[in-house]
């Protein structure tokens, strides 16, 4: 399971029909890619790391506070392209990304895991074409992969 996390001042997901699927103010925008072999332990690892990730400034201007500390928002977007393979040719292969029947339940459990931490969570719509609008704060962008755990 891979997550690309961006610290944002605001974020919004708009579906192609103009409907706003999710919208947040200060917090984290999480792009989530799921692989076929991802399990509950991958969800638990990423949820724990994301809610504890100290990327918000404290009173001294040092990145020392988490999204939990600042009572920030979370916006989660499914993103199978995080598992793109560009090894051969110029057209990415997405064979490493989980099929919807595997990914949708894991995506739902990931979102529920974040909600269980007491944080407001908004989402995109799984499998839909979406426009992602954000104001990146910093910019601060962090890459995490549950198969390459760093504690």
Residues with catalytic roles: 81
Beta-carbon contacts of residue 96 (< 8 Å; ≥ 6 apart): 35, 36, 83, 84, 85
Q: Are strands 27-33 and 121-123 parallel, antiparallel or unpaired?
A: unpaired
| Structure tokens, 73 | 């928002």
Is residue 7 within 8 A of residue 55, CB to CB? The reply is yes
């Amino acid at each position: 399971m891979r997550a690309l996390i961006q610290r944002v001042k605001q974020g919004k997901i708009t579906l192609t029909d103009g409907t706003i699927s999710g919208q947040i103010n200060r917090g984290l925008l999480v792009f989530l890619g799921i692989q076929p072999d991802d399990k509950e332990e991958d969800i638990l690892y990423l949820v724990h790391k994301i809610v504890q990730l100290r990327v918000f400034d404290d009173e001294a201007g040092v990145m020392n506070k988490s999204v939990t500390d600042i009572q920030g928002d979370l916006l989660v977007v499914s993103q199978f392209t995080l598992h793109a393979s560009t090894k051969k040719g110029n057209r990415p292969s997405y064979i490493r990304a989980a099929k919807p029947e595997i990914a949708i339940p894991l995506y739902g459990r990931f979102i529920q895991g974040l909600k269980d931490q007491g944080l407001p969570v908004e989402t995109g719509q799984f499998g839909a074409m979406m426009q992602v609008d954000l104001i990146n704060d910093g910019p601060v962008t962090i890459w995490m992969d549950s198969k390459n755990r760093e504690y």
